Amino acid sequence: MNKDEALKKLQLNELEILKTIAALCDEHGIAWFIDAGTLLGAARHQGFIPWDDDIDIAMLRSDFDRFIEVARGHLPDGYSLHTFGNTPGFAGMFAKVYRDGTVFATRETQEAGCDQGIFVDIFPYDFLEPDERIEAKQRRTAKLWQSASYLWHSKTIVVPHGGGLGRIEAVGCRAVHYLVKGIFSREGIKRRFDRAIVRRELHPDDVVLELAWPNVQGYRVGDLLPVSTLSFEGIDLPVPREWERYLVQMYGDWKKLPEPENRRTHLPLLLRFPDGTSWSSE
């Protein structure tokens, strides 16, 4: 199996997980929508971005909490819910649904001792305080402690630069890993991240953000819900109500394809599929 075949097979497995999540949400009245690069793929390619290797969906915090409760006992056989709280080595402050019996192993997950399967990511959107100073503190808190969690779990982190600067960043991450692990407990990091979360009834003009990835401006609840729909791999899926505004805010000129050298597929070290076939980058 070559890399292109592995990517296509990975995408098909992720699509099966997505269908399973969608059915569970529909059954229990949980509002959700495709997010980030998955939404970009639906709008620009009517499916996966050809070189993309994951699926992201999102929910408001209240729906996310309900989903976690429902998914614990009602996912069909062959699928399982994974969070910081129920999975050793899981560093993200969000959730994943795995396809059981599969492997999606990265250097980070191996170092963290996280037996990760092929997955779909599920992100909660949380309320942002209208006061700019308090909002800035929310963002700083969330970003600091999500980063600390990744560094606590693994000394190998994907760094933003290449070349010499990237090597310096990688060495710095290794040093910080040992520092963070020596000072903080895993549970203490989670408690500190949770200080950024405000649970309250939301209104259409309230602004929300994925606090696990607080690197963009927030979105009005009324721009996200009630959802619209777009086609993704031949399936109509829920998308933010003002999905074009969402994409402009996140990507700018989202219709423009990146240069060929920037169309990168980040397959893991090892993939193992439900039929027992596998692909390795090593």
Q: What is the pLDDT along the chain (282 residues), one digit of tens a residue?
A: 899 999 999 999 999 999 999 999 999 999 999 999 999 999 999 999 998 889 999 999 999 999 999 999 999 999 999 999 999 999 999 999 999 999 999 999 999 999 999 999 999 999 999 999 999 999 999 999 999 999 999 987 664 545 665 565 666 777 888 889 999 999 999 999 999 999 999 999 999 999 999 988 899 999 999 999 999 999 999 999 999 999 999 999 989 988 887 878 778 999 999 999 999 987
Cα–Cα distance measured from residue 33 to residue 265, given in angstroms and rounded to the nearest whole number: 23
Q: What per-residue confidence (pLDDT) applies to 112?
A: 94
Cα–Cα distance measured from residue 98 to residue 118, given in angstroms and rounded to the nearest whole number: 5
Is residue 226 reached through a cis peptide bond, with omega within 30 degrees of 0 on the bond before it? Answer: yes
Q: What per-residue confidence (pLDDT) applies to 191?
A: 97
Instruction: Please tell me the pTM assigned to this model.
Output: 0.92
Q: How far is CA 140 from the centre of its chain?
A: 19
Instruction: Report the amino acid identity of residue 217.
Output: Q
User: Do 64 and 126 touch, CB atoms closer than 8 A?
Assistant: no
Cα–Cα distance measured from residue 16 to residue 20, given in angstroms and rounded to the nearest whole number: 6
Instruction: Report the amino acid identity of residue 103.
Output: V
Angle at 96 between CA 93 and CA 100, to 5 degrees: 145
Pairing label, strands 235-239, 95-99: unpaired
- Orientation angle between helical segments 132-153 and 186-194, nearest 10 degrees: 160
Q: What per-residue confidence (pLDDT) applies to 258?
A: 83
Q: What per-residue confidence (pLDDT) applies to 163?
A: 62
User: Do 89 and 153 touch, CB atoms closer than 8 A?
Assistant: yes
Beta bridge partners of 278: 272
Cα–Cα distance measured from residue 107 to residue 101, given in angstroms and rounded to the nearest whole number: 19
Q: What per-residue confidence (pLDDT) applies to 86?
A: 96
